[in-house]
Amino acid sequence: MEHWLGLAALPRLTAEQTAAYERDRAAARSHALSRMTVAVGGFYLFYALIDILMLGDIVQLSLMLRFGIILPLALALGWYQSGRRPIRHKEIATLAVAMAGNLVWCVVLASSHSPAVLHYYYAAAIFQMVVTIAARPTFDLAVGASLGTAAINYVFIWLIEGVTPLYVFHHLAVYVPTLILTLVASHQLEVERQRAFLQLHENEALKRELAHQNGELARLSSTDPLTQLPNRRGTEAEIARLRRLLKPAELENSAALIVDIDHFKAFNDGYGHGAGDECLREVADAMRRELPGTVHLARLGGEEFLAVLPPGEASHAGMFAERMCRAVLALAIPHEHIGGHTGGRDCHVTVSIGGACGSIATDEALARLLDAADEALYEVKAEGRNGWRLAPMMGGPATSDAA
């Protein structure tokens, strides 16, 4: 948006954005103000030499006011700037000291009877540059300081010996363009600072949104949309996480439970896919409620699920399998199409579970573990389903509760 004279308008910041803008610029601005105070303060004190060369009749007054008033003020300002204070307060204090320096300079020149004072007074424009370009305050403070500086200079101009209306006109011809151009520059600097701030925060917001979307995509890619359980990719990620956290020796005592809904194809064919989907959701929720958060339950596809038990839970594999079987049976989901024909009214959806204990430290070990669990599942189905079996440990018997 452009205003008259082709100047860009200041962005409209909300109260929250304004507070963030002040916080973001505080450290850099505080450092810049301190450096500016040292540079301009040194320049101001150095100008005592100009007073001596041009205005020999007020040397003592100049030294007394510059070093007796402005130097202590500058030192106090440096202390104030170094503290933990709002940056706007520091800017106001800096401008106040600059205007005090302007006032002292005017007092010195108004006290001189040298004809050179009329030439020297054109240097009043320097103070306008200080409160706008050198100090670089926010535009509203720059306007206020400019008006204050102009008021000081044009009150004291009438106290200068030998001043005429024509001289004041000539002085204004220099001062007014300086005032306007420095305010234009101050305005543009403020516009650029605020635009850079908004662009930076917009970029950060986009980065956060992109990170959120990437995280959501990663979650969706590793989640089964029907049951909201992890899918195969989610299981791979969980096993990779365990491998990062635990040593290979610790992963030796893990366990896997493969769960299969009994006669699910017949259920799907008899009741329809909508009922089949609802059955999958209910079974998944029931099993999830029976497992602690440390156990990873996933849907592998179709009616098959997988529970990965970390080392701390592997010894409870049989207990978890029993609880899942009972929880699914307790749902009492009617299943009158067992085996592809109409069954009794008391038939309900059940699950068969095969498990094994072993290592998940490597892909080869994991494959052996799943093969053993799958073999145990096959044995449960062969014995009539609706039960569970754990594959035998090396040299030991199998554990089961198959119906």
Output the six-digit token pair for 304: 């098959």
Show Cβ contacts of residue 119 under 8 Å, excluding neighbours closer than 6 positions: 54
First to last CA, the chain: 78
Neighbour tally for 2: CB within 10 Å: 8
- What separation in angstroms does the CA of 149 have from each of 141, 152, 178, 291, 387? 12, 5, 12, 76, 92
CA 6 to chain centre: 36
The whole-angstrom separation of Cα 360 and Cα 199 is: 48
Count of residues making up the chain = 403
Catalytic: 303?
yes
Residue 387 contacts residue 353 (beta carbons within 8 Å): yes
The whole-angstrom separation of Cα 376 and Cα 389 is: 6
- What separation in angstroms does the CA of 181 have from each of 186, 191, 195, 335, 347? 9, 15, 21, 87, 91
The catalytic residue among 91, 290, 303, 313 is: 303
Residue 128 contacts residue 150 (beta carbons within 8 Å): yes
Residue 371 contacts residue 267 (beta carbons within 8 Å): no
The whole-angstrom separation of Cα 81 and Cα 35 is: 10
The whole-angstrom separation of Cα 270 and Cα 13 is: 63
- What separation in angstroms does the CA of 219 have from each of 38, 215, 231, 232? 56, 6, 10, 12
The whole-angstrom separation of Cα 174 and Cα 177 is: 6
Bridge-based pairing state of the strands 399-400 and 387-390: antiparallel
Neighbour tally for 47: CB within 10 Å: 18
> Would you name the residues annotated as active-site residues?
303
